[in-house]
Structure 1
Amino acid sequence: MGLDPFARFEACLDDIVRFHRDAAFVVISGDLAERGELLAYRQLKARLADFPIATHLLLGNHDDRSQFLSVFPEGPRDEAGFVQSAFAHDDAVFLMLDTLKGPPSSAGLYCDQRKAWLKTELARAGNRPVYVFMHHPPFSIAHDLMDLIMLDDAEDFLALLPSGQVRHIFFGHAHRPISGQFHGMSFSAPPSLVHQLPLVGGSVPTIYSDEPPMYAVVHAGPDKVLVHMDAFLNRRPADMAPEAERGTWH
């Protein structure tokens, strides 16, 4: 579609290292490849080898679990072999979920084996706040196309999340910047690093659109969850003198 995913990925990582090297960790929220290609996973692994920030990889509907694990055999997985993990940081628990259903469907799935793992990890978290990362949104995002391929068993999945325990849900999949609340839980999603989906079908003549790629910068603590979307490839100086507007604003 006229876009170079490797160049954009490289630019994204470089920007993160330049401006957010102090980040606790990075999460790449799925669709690590276009068709689960071994070469794509090998290139991803090679690029991340010298990336200085701990990085967690999720699987999306474009991924292939067995191909991914053949390249990342050391990667975390649950007892059933799904690419899921949990870790604690700053007295909070972060859950990385595997919602890959598999072809031919692009929708997500969270089966009984994965649910059993999630129940165990939520119980283990106790009273600590929980942050959930997943590829597929577990509710409607009011987008006619993407709502057809959200998480299949969304109601059953959401029933597993205790009220008040989950502080925020982060997801991908939508190719749009999205944020809001659902049943008291806040959520957010960044757009893709490559093509996007127009908010309104027909607003452009193609199914996908060329809109700014972004990554999210998250500040999470006991009193707030703050998510910034940074359009790193579209950050240019304004048409103004560099010394302008440098007075006291407060």
Structure 2
Amino acid sequence: MKFIHVTDLHLVEESEILWGLKPIETLDACLADIQKHHADAAFVAITGDLAERGEVAAYELLKQRLSTLGLPVLLMLGNHDDRTNFKQVFSDVPLDHGGFVQQVREDHGGVFLFLDTLKGPPSSAGLYTPERREWLSQQLDKAAGRPVYLFMHHPPFSIAHELMDKIMLDDPEEFAALLQGHDVKHIFFGHGHRAVSGVWRGISFSALPSLNHQLPLVGGSVETVYSHEPPAYAVVHVTGEGIIVHNDAFYDRKAATMPADAERGTWY
């Protein structure tokens, strides 16, 4: 099966510029590219920071854009989001028993769990409270040995980034303990505004650049906290042998300086 991972939209009102960029323009280009090249995807997962300030207008703008995509979209919340305003606009999004934005999708023999790690202001860190952990524990038990894929905004571990490691998930050990004894294959997350991948406690993981601004890997490598680097979405293939994650820098994709017929049919 194939699905799409997108993260950190940071939407503001349609005419507004955020850190020198227009978030809606990048989102429009992203959705158009997905429609053109990946209309056969099973779903699109967007792992939080849907809005920059959690405003109703930003969620309404997102809902309008997603209505024409033609693919199921699974939405999660990040530290820039407002759970009350989000639920007001996306009133049909499934919630867990505590009213948190958590849901389950079963597909291709696997269980896909979409988590709510929003702690709330003034903190930008994540939090996975006992009530939310209870829901996750129940879903892991129901998976009954089937492969599990987790989606969340905040990483539950250090990503070796000085700034972002200060605002990762607050309760990583409690979270990690929940996963023990279950076949968790991969964790997809956002928050870091960078392409990151690796293995944590035997579980592979991947994250993406934001659709708007990025965070430089090394603080001080640019004069500002944020940087302008290419946005990307991920095309994920779940196969019988494993997981393949392609990051596609769609916004910066252009033809190379070469004849259109060069290098065709000469590699094999």
TM, length-normalised to structure 2:
0.92
Cα deviation, residue 11, structure 1: 0.3
Name the CA distance, whole Å, in 2 between partners of 1:234 and 1:200. 22
Unaligned stretches of 5+ residues in structure 2: 1-18
Query: What is aligned with 1:5?
Result: 23
The residue identity in structure 1 corresponding to 2:89 is: V
Name the CA distance, whole Å, in 2 between partners of 1:106 and 1:98. 14
Name the CA distance, whole Å, in 1 between partners of 2:141 and 2:182. 14
Return the match for 1:68 from 67, 86, 89: 86
Deviant stretches of 4+, over 2 Å: none
Could you say what the CA RMSD is over the residues aligned between the two structures, in angstroms? Answer: 0.8
Return the match for 2:232 from 214, 218, 232: 214
8 Å CA contact 2:145, 2:182 repeated in 1? no
The residue identity in structure 1 corresponding to 2:44 is: V
Query: What is aligned with 2:103?
Result: 85
Match of 2:179, SS state, is: coil
Name the CA distance, whole Å, in 2 between partners of 1:63 and 1:70. 13
Cα deviation, residue 246, structure 1: 1.3
Match of 1:86, SS state, is: strand
Return the match for 2:219 from 194, 201, 215: 201
Q: Percent identity?
A: 60
Return the match for 2:136 from 97, 107, 118: 118
- Deviation string 1:202-238 (CA, Å, 9 cap, x unpaired) is 1001110000000000001231100000000110111
How many pairs are equivalent? 250
The residue identity in structure 2 corresponding to 1:62 is: H
Query: What is aligned with 2:193?
Result: 175
Mapping of residues 1-250 of structure 1, within 5 Å:
1-163=19-181, 165-250=183-268
Unaligned stretches of 5+ residues in structure 1: none
Cα deviation, residue 2, structure 1: 1.0
Cα deviation, residue 163, structure 1: 4.3
Match of 1:160, SS state, is: helix
